């Protein structure tokens, strides 16, 4: 069956809206068919179970080719959370080519039937505009800060090569320290399309992650398709299948799962719904040592697994690594970074062992810094965790297909507490669903060092997690 038929001009009405009779004739599409269109040059996505062809639109998409991250998947959460002013229905109708088969439609963890998030988006936009702030980039300080970190990284690398070995170890630690700031303050915003108003500058900022040895494409897959949309949400069914070494086809997998709590640190229990192992009662003792391995594991293991398998756990990565140019960029940057981060130290210190030691020390410093900064955002006292698909209440021995209520380790839902307090003051307050996307983000994240100029700048805004999720609608 030919499904990808484009609507012709006679099938449109004024303003770009598709005639209702045409929409009713659109074919049903299976999940497998949707997943097969996951290539940068042949990209479909589903939004509220309506299938859109975004292949050509990606070239003129205001956010650049970030839209291609949605290829082959349910993009509802990306569609809803990255467009503060919404998307014209006329544009959606132009891109619409079908709808998912009724029996295969996505059952999301989230609800979009509340006024809470639309109101929040409206207020954020009004605040940005009233303060005459740019929706992307900043007041110039982000550029100055970025140039400072870039200079510091390269200066430390230079000193690491030309200094005595003992001094080089100190410079290696400093290099890793500044590399972590490049990760949080430059590439993070660049790959989000938020470092600048200029696409090319956002791309350049995103490439700085490749410059320090990791792949920006791997980061996009894990962070933008996994962590951001589904913060602290665990697909328990997929976890159970993984433990049994059962690997379903990608189109059958549920993508609503945060890889940061799924298995980024396989020896750590990052979510209360995970069955604990005996040794994890000691994880507070060995976790800091594992954290130090975070970036070196990504650079030497995870990046290569993705480019060969084109997937990250349950997430399809063909949307990026399906492009030969992206694959070429990956290998070019890997070879280049290994040359100046390992090859140069080996050459200047005339020792393979010393060169590799300096490389690892730098990564240990970077990994420890980043992991410590990340862990306090979402895996700490007071945050809530979401579960989806057959989450088992061990005490009651009850199994539910979908569990919408995010809960803390103690079993409390922060939103219920705040709702009760609000209702005491006003009985006219609308009840927001417990699984409203924005409400879940507020419960699965915490702020730290709020009001600190230093940490707000040097964490790249990560210290204001709840504010970050409110403002990401402007990215």
> What is the rounded distance in angstroms from the CA atom of residue 70 to the CA atom of residue 18?
23
301-337 pLDDT, tens digit per residue, is 999 999 999 998 889 999 999 999 999 999 999 999 9
pLDDT value of residue 467 = 60
Domain boundaries, the chain: 9-104, 117-475
Tell me the pLDDT of the chain averaged across its residues. 85
> What is the rounded distance in angstroms from the CA atom of residue 270 to the CA atom of residue 249?
25
> What is the rounded distance in angstroms from the CA atom of residue 136 to the CA atom of residue 473?
11
| Tokens matching residue 201 | 């500058």
| Tokens matching residue 362 | 């730098």
pLDDT value of residue 473 = 42
Is the CATH code 3.30.70.1110 the one for domain 9-104?
no
In the block, residue with structure tokens 């705040």: 418
> Which pTM was predicted?
0.85
63-73 pLDDT, tens digit per residue, is 888 999 999 99
Instruction: Note whether 268 and 287 are within 8 A (CB).
Output: yes
Mean pLDDT, range 51-79, rounded to an integer: 92
């Amino acid at each position: 069956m030919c499904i990808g038929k484009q609507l012709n001009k006679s099938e449109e009405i004024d303003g770009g809206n598709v005639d209702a009779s045409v929409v009713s004739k659109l074919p049903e599409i299976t999940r497998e068919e949707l997943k097969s269109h996951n290539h940068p040059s042949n990209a479909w996505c589903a939004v509220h179970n309506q299938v859109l062809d975004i292949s050509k639109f990606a070239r003129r998409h205001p956010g650049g080719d970030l839209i291609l991250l949605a290829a082959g998947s349910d993009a509802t959460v990306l569609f809803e959370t990255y467009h503060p002013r919404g998307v014209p229905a006329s544009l959606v109708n132009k891109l619409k080519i079908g709808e998912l088969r009724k029996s295969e439609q996505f059952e999301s963890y989230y609800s979009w039937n509340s006024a809470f998030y639309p109101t929040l988006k409206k207020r954020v936009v009004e605040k940005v505009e009233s303060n005459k702030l740019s929706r992307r980039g900043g007041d110039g300080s982000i550029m100055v800060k970025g140039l400072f970190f870039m200079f510091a990284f390269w200066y430390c690398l230079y000193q690491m090569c030309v200094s005595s070995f003992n001094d080089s170890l100190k410079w290696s630690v400093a290099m890793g320290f500044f590399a972590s700031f490049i990760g949080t303050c430059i590439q993070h915003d660049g790959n989000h399309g938020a470092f600048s108003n200029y696409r090319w500058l956002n791309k350049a900022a995103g490439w700085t992650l490749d410059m320090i040895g990791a792949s920006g494409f791997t980061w996009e897959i894990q962070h933008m398709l996994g962590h951001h949309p589904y913060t602290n949400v665990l697909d328990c069914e997929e976890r159970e299948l993984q433990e049994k070494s059962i690997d379903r086809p990608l189109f059958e997998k549920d993508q609503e799962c945060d890889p940061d709590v799924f298995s980024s640190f396989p020896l750590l229990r990052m979510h209360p719904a995970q069955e604990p192992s005996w040794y994890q009662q000691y994880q507070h003792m060995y976790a800091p040592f594992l954290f130090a391995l975070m970036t070196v594991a990504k650079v030497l293991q995870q990046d290569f697994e993705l480019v060969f398998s084109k997937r990250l756990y349950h997430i399809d990565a063909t949307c990026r690594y399906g492009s030969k140019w992206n694959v070429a960029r990956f290998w070019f940057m890997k070879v280049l970074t290994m040359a100046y981060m390992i090859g140069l130290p080996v050459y200047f210190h005339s020792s393979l062992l010393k060169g590799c030691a300096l490389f690892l020390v730098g990564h240990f410093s970077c990994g420890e810094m980043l992991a410590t900064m990340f862990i306090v955002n979402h895996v700490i006292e007071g945050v809530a965790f979401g579960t989806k698909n057959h989450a088992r209440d061990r005490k009651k021995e009850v199994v539910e297909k979908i569990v919408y209520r995010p809960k803390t380790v103690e079993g409390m839902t922060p939103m219920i507490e705040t709702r009760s307090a609000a209702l005491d003051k006003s009985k006219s307050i609308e009840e927001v669903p417990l699984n409203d996307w924005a409400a879940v983000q507020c419960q699965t994240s915490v702020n730290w060092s709020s009001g600190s100029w230093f940490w707000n700048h040097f964490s790249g805004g990560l210290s204001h997690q709840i504010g970050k999720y409110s403002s990401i609608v402007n990215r």
